[in-house]
A and B are shown apart, each in its own frame.
Chain A
Amino acid sequence: MDEFQEILQDFLIESFELIEQLDQDLVELENSPEDLELLNRIFRVAHTVKGASSFLNFDILTHLTHHMEDVLNKARHGELVIDADIMDVILESIDLMKSLLTTIRDTSKDEGIEVEPCVLRLVAITSGESPTEVQAPTAEETPAVEEPAAVEEEAEEPDFANMSDEDVEAEIQRLLEERQASDKAKREAKLAAGEEVPQMPDAQESDAQESKDEEPSPAPVLAVETPSTPPPAAKAAPKVDKKAAAPATATTVEQTIRVDVKRLDHLMNLIGELVLGKNRLIKINDDVEERYEGEEFLEELNQVVSIVSLVTTDLQIAVMKTRMLPIGKVFNKFPRMIRDLSRELGKKIELEISGEETELDKSIVEEIGDPLVHIIRNSCDHGIEDTSKRVATGKSETGTIGLKAYNEGNHIVIEITDDGAGMDPDFLRTKSIEKGVITEKEADMMSDKEAFTLIFRPGFSTAAQVTNVSGRGVGMDVVKTNIEKLNGMIDIESELGKGTVMKLKIPLTLAIIQALLVGVQEEYYAIPLASVLETVRIGKEEIYTVENRSVMRLRDEVLSLVHIADIFEVEHVFDTSEHAYVVVLGLAESKIGLIVDSLVGQEEIVIKSMGEYLKGMDGIAGATIRGDGGVTLIVDVAALMHMAKTIKSSVTGDAGSAKGGPREKTQPSDYKVMIIDDSKTDRKIMTMALKPLGITLIEANDGLEALNILKSGEHHFDALLIDIEMPRMDGYTLASEIKKYNKYKNLPLIAVTSRTGKADRMRGVESGMVEYITKPYSPDYLQNVVKRNIKFTFSQESAS
């Protein structure tokens, strides 16, 4: 039984692979019904499936494929010309074959699917009738019609069901050879289409010749050169061709191995950990470099770190590649879909595919299929006009839909173009108002480009009535949701009467992403770079308020703005400068400007879940671990855009009105200064010197203590007096630690030290000190320096 299962598995895998190619071949065949090469290829699929299924005792499947084979065989020998009607029947039978195979996969049986009507039509075709004439076949008729066909078949092929064991053995051998031959022919066909085949003698030639009796092979070279030559070519042709085919096989054979996707996923996770480790290492390397400048071992460390980071990057790319699939896997089903749609809609539509070899991550390939189906259906139904209308407007009768994929940086772009009617922005506006999707006011404010995006709103439809193809107002919403899920973007361009271009821009991979790190107050957030269109620095006066919404003018567009602090409820501790950075985010079809305090840079991040407990928090897609070991949250751009609509804005053009600005100082004791010195005497001296000012003084023993006091947030200091030489943490380190916080960027740090060297002063400046007082100093001098730095406004007399 196990052995049987194994064979069954192989059979299924093979069959599904064959069928994938089949759809495309069939549609092509309809366009060039005399293409012998194509016919042969299709015939072989039916043949292979039939052979194997009869061996595995799937009678219904055998029955069906047998009759398909008959029809195709006739066409192959030129006794039958395949027209659209016949093609319909063939396609129907292929569909049946697919569902039978699916049933077999799920239940190991080929029951429950009615194939008889289809078989009857196939039989009708074989016997020369028009398939449409056979409509309500009765059960009694079936065997009678079937018999002659079966007999005919016997001549070509043994009856598998009644074979003895030895025969089975032989049959397997034969099938195997057949497969090899057909594989060869396939590859050769590819080559023949492309370039010259290198001529080379080959050992497998005998194999090919053996199988040639049962299976006259195609003549691709001939077929390509003279496609119009009718099929009954010379008997010699296949033989010659086989020889050409065989060498091609030898040179192009690619070794592959099937790997469980779970293993690849696991590998990808491990690489993610490695990338985090790498980021960490780079950060540590930078720190060490700073501290031990000029030391010899640094160079060695540098080398190691760069090698590790280089290899990690390469490794990551390599593993990503193992997960890549050509997008052709998705594209393949569209020729068939277009064909069916064009017949259903009574339009003439041609599909042009290019770039199907472009690769992207498996998980994305799986997600991209649905949106494409909806977009293409939409293009067929709404885009391409009726034949009569096309002719009337001077276009060619046949509409063209283009499907194109290409790489652009870290993205893959899928372009769907049609040369149809194009979209009328005004019509879209009126329709949307009618359906209650938007208000009239909103409609007035919309640019044409924004109006195009209305088609993605749920509930929007321009179709007057719901048809099989479209009209429910769901499809395009699906497109939007799926593309958003992939962090992709949609861009629409349309010209009335000329056609529409829809561009889907999708990141290549999901697990490890490039992110833009932004700062707000003292928090950091990572924004997936895939959603970042650009960043701009603007002055506060460039922000306008329209109906309680902040907006800015970006070139010729009006961009609505939202402050990241409002989205993430960040406390306004200090006032931002008069400049702000705007990160322009684009997702699916919409755009928004996110105001942040600072741009930190670009970093490679690995998305980590925050567990069930914090799953699905608004606006947060996950977390990542940074080089310094801290956790940074990743912005969920889709959610953020949604939240932006409902959030009240606190962004105003008037910088002064921002809440939480510097507090009003009404008396000298409102000023707070921290004295940091490890010597009690020194602290005393400073305290004495500053006492007359009446300001509040806080003392700290060393840098670490000072930092903790500062971090606790209990006090708001106006200045810090820092000794340089202290245990645990010295003054320089303290200053650079403090300057890491956005909040304290403008906090004056004053060095008070007995170190007088020029180098010491330089270091002081580098670490962010604003003044440098050398011991000993006069109390007046210290007072003046402090007063100047804290902008002390009270006169000394009133204070004392």
Chain B
Amino acid sequence: MSDKLQDIINKQQDQIAPGEENMDNIVQLVGFVVGDEEFSVPILSIQEIIKPIEWTRVPRTPGYILGVFNLRGTVIPLIDLRLKFGLPSEKMTDESRFIVMKNESETAGFVIDRLTEAIRLKKHEIGPAPETSMQEKTMIEGVGKQDEKILTILKVDKLLERDF
């Protein structure tokens, strides 16, 4: 009996193991559009995605900080990625969303123009960020190649860092 059980367990593990290996090599991302470009962030850094709700302006902050909003009792800063990326501001549409991202210390909402899709990328498909003069300041984690598309992966820690 126990031999049989052991057999089954072994088999199961065999089945799981290759998958797990794959999981380790795969990065799951959520893609979205800001302006004309598609960006993405790791799915694990996203707390939730909500439709735009009312927010309150916080005075004396840089323009890209729209203010704060109430997410079920927590007050969370709201950042407009268009303005943050130096694009002109545009009215929110039905497709606009707030992506609430978090890391160990900080949570913030980001306004994006529209969501695209959840993306699975193998690690080897992700290249390093392009060489720029300000390697320190770059918000780009890496660049993913997917079929014909080029996908910019953003650094969530950098997005959540206060830079004023």
Contact = CB atoms under 8 A, between A and B. Distances in A.
B56 A631 contact: yes
A620 B58 CA distance: 8
B68 A630 contact: no
Given A568-B60, A570-B59, A620-B58, A613 B160 contact: yes
B56 A612 contact: no
Contacts of A276: 73
B77 interface: yes
A632 B56 contact: yes
A333 to B, nearest CB: 39
Interface stretch (A240-248, A297-305, A603-611, A779-787): A603-611
Interface of B: 54-61, 65, 67-70, 73-77, 91, 105-108, 160, 162
Interface residues of A, number: 26
Interface in A605-639: 608-614, 617-620, 623, 625, 629-633
Contacts of B70: 625, 629-631
Interface in A517-536: 523
Contacts of A609: 75
A424 interface: no
Contacts, number: 69
10 contacts: A568-B59, A570-B59, A610-B77, A612-B162, A614-B58, A614-B65, A620-B59, A630-B70, A631-B55, A631-B70
A712 interface: yes
A273 interface: yes
A611 B59 contact: no
Nearest to A615: B162
B59 A569 contact: yes
B90 to A, nearest CB: 11
A273 B73 contact: yes
A611 B68 CA distance: 10
Between B56, B67, B160, the greatest number of chain A beta carbons within 10 A of the residue's beta carbon is seen for B56
Given A523-B57, A608-B75, A631-B70, 15 more contacts: A567-B59, A611-B77, A611-B107, A611-B108, A614-B77, A614-B162, A618-B60, A619-B60, A625-B73, A629-B70, A630-B56, A631-B55, A631-B69, A631-B75, A632-B56
A273 B160 CA distance: 26
What 4 pairs across the A-B complex have the smallest Cβ distances?
A568-B59, A631-B56, A623-B75, A613-B77
A712 B75 contact: no
Contacts of A612: 105-106, 162
Contacts of B108: 611, 613
Nearest to A272: B73
B97 to A, nearest CB: 18
Contacts of B68: 610, 614, 623, 631, 633
Contacts of A632: 56
B108 to A, nearest CB: 6
B123 to A, nearest CB: 30
Contact of A614 (B61, B73, B74, B105): B61
A399 B129 CA distance: 76
Contacts of B91: 712
A633 B60 CA distance: 13
